[in-house]
Each structure stands twice: as C-alpha cells, then as structure tokens.
Chain A
Amino acid sequence: MSMESHLLPRRGRLWAWTTQHFPPPPPYSGPAGKDFVPFGVGFVELGDDVRVESRLTTADPDALSTGMEMQLVVVPFRTDDEGNEVVTFAFEPVA
C-alpha cells in the first residue's frame, strides 16, 4: 500500500466531547493528585478529511458545544524530571 503525506487543516468543528474529571491511570504522565486539573476531550472534524481525538483547552461544559469551531494550539502539559516543560497539542474554541 502506498502512503503519502496530507496536510490537515488546523481548524475544524467539534463533533463529540466530554470532560475528564479524575486523573487517568498510568501510562498517563501529566499532573496527578492535588495538581490534577480536569481537561476536556473531544473529536474535532477536520474538513472532509478525518476526525481526530484531542484534549480540549477547557473542561467547562458551558464553554463547549457540538459543532463549534475549534483550532489547534500547543499547550503546556507537564514538567519533566529535569525541569523541562513538556508540551502537547489541544484544540481550543475559536473566540
């Protein structure tokens, strides 16, 4: 099977979503215990290409609704053992 690169749009529509209010079990490596911050999770539909599952920048149900426009951002995720900031991707509502 031949494979080729395909550039996906950075913006899309929220297709399904929920919130994560407790620290996931390992191998989750982000802040846990008292440092845990609930996060949103959802599928964002990128044009006619694909739906990708991603963290969302908010876990407030009032700030999320299906069909809203979302954009890709890079956000701080955790600090590693050597004090370096580790980042990940997320989608945020387009203001």
Chain B
Amino acid sequence: MDVAIVGVGLHPFGRFPGVSGIDMGAVAVRRALADAGVEWRDIQFAFAGSYEVDNPDAVVALLGLTGIPFTNVYNGCATAASALTHAANTIRLGEYDLGIAIGMDKHLPGAFNADPRLYACPSWYGEVGQFITTKFFGMKINKYMEDHGISQSTLAKVAAKGYRNGALNENAFRRKPLSEEEILASPILNYPLTQYMFCSPDEGAAAVVLCKAENAHRYTDKPIYLRASNVRTRRLGAFEVHSPWLPIEETPGPTVDASRAAYEVAGIGPEDVDVIQLQDTDAGAEVIHLAENGFCADGDQEKLVADGALEIGGSLPVNTDGGLIANGEPIGASGLRQVHEIALQLRGQAGERQVPGKPRVGYTQLYGAPGTAGVSILSL
C-alpha cells in the first residue's frame, strides 16, 4: 500500500531559552496538522523520536488526550528516519489511514557525550578521550581526502554553501553567511575539520502527517509520496564511529546499504533525484555522503563543488535549507526537518531557496552513532 505525506510542520531550529522540547514538538505538530487541514482528533496513531525528552508522547497533554496508540522511538541520529519508517509501515499494514511522525529535541551546546559502556565500548575508551564522535568524522574525511584527492578548500566551500542557504531559511539556526576564508581560519577541532565546518547540537522540532495514498487528495492537491524509507545498521568491517578496533577486511557503511535498499524499493535511481538532503554533521560528511548515496563517484566531489553543482541552482542541489551546518542537530527532529524541506521543494513552496525546474523527486539521508543510517525517497 502506498503512503503519502499530506502535511509538514516545523518549530524553528536554534536556541530557545524557556521553551521545552515538548512545547516545540506541539508547535511542529499543530503546524503539520494545519498544513494537512486536519485536527489532532483526526490523527489515528503517532510515532515520536527524541534523545533528551524521555517521553515525547507526553506531547498529547498539549494537543489533546485522544487515546491513540503513540510509540516513542530512539535511534541516534537516525531517530527521525525510524519514526517516519514505522509510521509509514503502520499505514502499509492497513491498520490505520492517518498518522503522524514527530521529532523534538533540546540539547545543551557542545559535542554529544555518553557512557561508552552504553555503546558496548570499554570504559577506558572514554577515559582516554577517544569516545567522541567528532574525531571519527575527522579521521574519515582525512582518509577520504587522501584516497580520493579532495582538498580542504572543498570542505570550506561546502560549509559556506550551508551557511549561505541557511541565510535564506527563516527557520535556520545559523543565518549569517560565512566566507570560505572565515571557515578555513576558524580553529581546527579535528584535523582537517575546522570549527565552522561542524554542525552544533541545538533545539527544534518537526512533524509529518502521513496517510494512505488513495486518501491523499482529501487533504491536499499536492501529496508527496513516500516511495521508500529504509534504516540500516553497520555490518562487520564498516569504518564506523566508536570503534576501538576494526577488522582488516572492509565493508561499505550503513548509508550505502540503506541507500541501495531505498533505490530498490522505490524503483528510482540517483539519476532521477532532483533535490537532496544529506547528513552534514560536518562538511566532510556531506562530501562523502554524496558518493555513498550514489550521486557521484568517489573523488568527483572536488570538481562538482568547484562547479557549483551542489548549489540551489546546480545539477545536484544538496541541503537547500542549509542542512545540519546551518540548522544544527536536534537529533529527534533532524530527519523530519529534511523531509519538511523536500516537501516544500517538491510543492514549489521553498521561496527564495526554491530549486528551479520543478523538482519531482527528493532524497533524504541520516547517519550517526553507533553506525545507523536512514534513507527516504519522496516524489510528487
């Protein structure tokens, strides 16, 4: 059974002192409901994801106690992909016709931390300072640049595009354009990545209303069909975050696996995609993910970036709303922010940052610790 997205809503991303994660979640839900032209009482089930909010289902206290089944999910940086996938599958099962996927979070500033033992890592790994995600991203892109001839200035160009697109997005956290020179001159955090090449954990919420595809025109004249939504975890041999050791024999990472699965399910190839959202935890991740999701060969990014292919008007528009670099990462909400942007782009409602040429197919990808990825493919 096909599934359509008929409403999207966002609470802006950034820092909002005094506003709770639940409050932001409720704002996003109300906006998604209004977008779909439905009431909370019409919603038959919900999935919600958060890292910081213990019980995102408590948002019903602000929306209405309607007794619906409401499942909380958490899957690291791929949390929103899991909420979306399970919401879609619930409709595909034929159990319900109209539901909602919600994400909300409210993080403190600074890199994420946790007890390594909760990630099946030894405690010494944290004590000596190796249990930190940013240094994995530094290692991965540093190796990738050597293997495939990518320059540090390409990373700076990618980050500059993120800030430039963020300036066009009223919901973004960082709305000040930064030049390539400013980005390169900011302090190195994990060589070759500088401070302004990284996104920040922040706050925000997003929600997506889904329905059985055959009902979609009751709610909107421009439904967005969810053609695939797939989550994968790492296999032995993948070069992954929080790995005290790796086997010699290498395997592609979970992004590659989730991407291939999604293309297969959707019957759509990378050449058919018109607008792209990639996990840009750092500018290097966007570069690598472009290849891992099949949009170019390893190493082609150097020229693609130089030629402006990833810009809003380019042949492969990536992170048109500024991505994680400009929006930050409220983990539970980040992937639904991606879907929100794709929906606006496919509907032609993205304003100043609208991709020209009437895009018809969109793509989203999430990746994070401890080696989890989610990919969705959407189309008119």
Contact = CB atoms under 8 A, between A and B. Distances in A.
Contacts of B113: 24-27
B138 interface: yes
B247 A51 contact: yes
Contacts of B127: 27-30
Contacts of A16: 139-140, 142-143, 239
Contacts of A28: 126-129, 131-132
A65 B307 CA distance: 30
Contact of B135 (A41, A51, A88): A41
B16 interface: no
Interface stretch (B30-38, B46-54, B85-93, B184-192): B184-192
Contacts of B110: 25
Contact of A21 (B123, B124, B130, B190): B190
A52 B244 contact: yes
A30 B112 CA distance: 18
A78 to B, nearest CB: 9
B19 interface: no
Interface in B97-126: 110-113, 115-116, 123-124, 126
B116 to A, nearest CB: 7
A53 B115 CA distance: 18
Nearest to A67: B146
B132 A18 contact: no
Interface in B117-176: 123-124, 126-132, 135, 138-140, 142-143, 146
A94 interface: no
B248 A51 contact: yes
A45 B247 CA distance: 9
B61 to A, nearest CB: 32
Given A24-B111, A26-B113, A18 B131 contact: no
Nearest to A90: B128
A68 B267 CA distance: 45
Contacts of B243: 53
Contact of A17 (B131, B142, B247): B142
Contact of A27 (B116, B146, B193): B116
Contacts of B190: 18-21
Contact of A51 (B112, B123, B128, B245): B245
Interface residues of A, number: 33
B246 interface: yes
B331 to A, nearest CB: 16
A13 B116 CA distance: 26
A22 B246 CA distance: 25
B111 A25 contact: yes
A20 B111 CA distance: 12
A45 B248 contact: yes
Contacts of A25: 110-113, 132
Contacts of A41: 130, 135, 139
B129 A18 contact: no
Contacts of B132: 20, 24-25, 28
A15 B143 CA distance: 8
A18 B144 CA distance: 12
B249 to A, nearest CB: 10
Contact of A24 (B129, B140, B143): B129
Nearest to A53: B244
A43 interface: yes
A49 interface: yes
22 contacts: A16-B140, A16-B143, A16-B239, A17-B143, A18-B191, A20-B129, A20-B190, A21-B187, A21-B188, A21-B189, A26-B126, A27-B126, A28-B128, A30-B127, A43-B139, A50-B247, A50-B248, A51-B245, A55-B130, A77-B128, A88-B124, A88-B128
Given A21-B190, A41-B130, 17 more contacts: A16-B140, A17-B139, A18-B138, A18-B142, A18-B192, A19-B135, A24-B113, A27-B115, A28-B126, A28-B127, A39-B129, A50-B248, A52-B245, A53-B130, A53-B244, A55-B129, A55-B130
Interface of A: 15-30, 39, 41-43, 45, 48-55, 61, 66, 77, 88
